[in-house]
Amino acid sequence: MPDAVPRLLVALYGPTSAGKTAVSVDLCLRIQDELGLPTMVVSADSRQVYRYMDIGTSKTTPEEMRGIPHTMIDVTEPVRKLELETFVSQARGHMEETWSAGGVPVIVGGTSVYVRSLLEGWEVDAVAEARNAIRRDFPRSMAEDAYAVLARLDPKAAGKIHENNYDAIVNALARAMGNDPERAVAPATRQVVLSVDRAAAEIDQRVAATYDHQVERGLRDEVLGLDERYDVLSQYRRLGQKSPNQVVHTHGYTEWFDVALDRGKAVENLNADDLVEVRKRVVERIQTHTRRQRAAIPKLTGVRPARNANDAFNTVKAALEAPPPRPTNTKPSNPGRSGRSSGTSGSNSGGAGGKRGGGRSGRGGQAGQPSSKRGSRRR
């Protein structure tokens, strides 16, 4: 290893139930033990950022972490959506802390927009300003009007969004009005982008097995606790898809409330037949979601498969030992329009780590200090 450790950013992306957690922790332990470098996992999962949604989102438990610090988990309560700019700001802050300590941050997750925003160094401030302006002009009560404007500006985008999905409408309008996130100019950063994947049939089997294990671990009690804490079913009955609570926008939870509404029951009164229907819907929807996640893998420039932690470690070690990449002065194209990054591959220079984030929110609120209050876990 060279005396001066280069700024390296590692990303492990893959579908739900592919086994990213085990690979990432094993990789981090080997980086620490064999290379002597500190590591930190930066979770890139848009559901694990919410507190109290532990079992149904398969959050990594303290036992599974094996001493590796994990951040961007339990960032906020699920009463409203965590905006992308908040995630990017806080995640970049944790990445900078790790680099400052001479370490290697490892992004792990299946939310492609989270992974790409960090790898490509998206500039999200302009999007945030546009989104705030749209919300002033079109409050949540005017979601249908906002959707009508979107349909005129970008019919293709509108066709992919439910007319009552207010947050998605606002985000699409911000992009349609020319406010796609642009990558920030950043110091050259080596990147290793790895995909953790399995055959579709195996993923489908693992999704079903994961749900059954979640039920065994107490998913029903977790759902009931969320309903009691946030009055989820009552709000969902009134607002439907307009409900800002992220519990009803998360596979593994939504289906409990959908079945309760369909059967005209409280969640605690769902019987065995109802729970069979809940399971069917959860498994089918997550299996469909994993196909979308797998389709996003080719959009990560320079991505290469990692069958296991050994593959991942060898790639990371080679990237650290390689000659420094040549910096580029050319501003990359807009990833929101191209759908791909340019100028970042394998150990090439990239844009991650552009702006430092202000917040420091992670597991238990402290970067690098896993909470001891973890009793549950996600898919």
Mean of pLDDT values over 22-50 = 98
* Average pLDDT of every residue of the chain: 85
pLDDT of residue 52: 98
Q: Tokens 């992308």 correspond to what residue?
A: 84
Q: How far apart are the first and last CA of the chain?
A: 36
For residue 343, pLDDT beyond 70 = no
The pTM of the whole model exceeds 0.75: yes
CATH number of 8-122+183-198+295-365: 3.40.50.300
The DSSP code sequence of 171-192 is HHHHHHTT---EEPP----EEE
Phi first, then psi: what are they for 183, rounded to 5°?
-75, 135
Confidence band of 177 (pLDDT split at 50, 70, 90): confident
Beta bridge pairs of residue 109 = 13
What the block records as the tokens of 57 is 């989102």
In three-state secondary structure terms, 6 is coil
Question: Tens of pLDDT along 231-289?
Answer: 999 999 999 988 999 999 999 999 999 999 999 999 999 999 999 999 999 999 999 99
What are the Cα distances from residue 346, in Å, to 2, 24, 84, 119, 341? Answer: 19, 17, 25, 11, 12
Query: Which residue type occupies 243?
Result: S
| Sequential DSSP letters for 191-256 | EEEEE----HHHHHHHHHHHHHHHHHHTHHHHHHHHHHHH-HHHHHHHHGGG---GGGGSTTTHHH
DSSP single-letter state for residue 149: H
* Best CA proximity match to 192, nearest among 112, 105, 294: 105
Going by DSSP bridges, is the β-strand pair 182-183/122-123 parallel, antiparallel, or unpaired?
antiparallel
pLDDT in tens, 186-208: 545 799 999 999 999 999 999 99
Bridge partners (DSSP) of residue 108 are 12, 43
pLDDT for the residue 130: 83
CA 295 to chain centre: 16
Q: Which two tokens stand for residue 303?
A: 């991505």
Tokens of 180: 């796609």
Q: Considering only 62-66, 93-97, 112-116, 170-174, which range has the smallest mean pLDDT?
A: 170-174
pLDDT value at residue 6: 83
Bridge partners, residue 183, by sequence: 122
Spatial contact of 343 and 330, defined as CB atoms under 8 Å apart: yes
Contacts 24+ apart (CB under 8 A), 22-26: 22/64, 22/309, 23/196, 23/306, 23/308, 23/309, 23/312, 24/106, 24/108, 25/60, 25/64, 25/65, 25/66, 25/68, 26/308, 26/309
Using DSSP's 3-state secondary structure scheme, residue 21 falls into helix
Q: For residues 346 and 194, is the Cβ–Cβ distance under 8 A?
A: no
Domain ranges of the chain: 8-122+183-198+295-365, 125-180, 200-292
Gyration radius of the chain over CA positions? 21
Q: 338: which 2 tokens? A: 């191209």
CB 195 within 8 A of CB 300: yes
Q: What is the mean pLDDT of residues 314-328?
A: 83
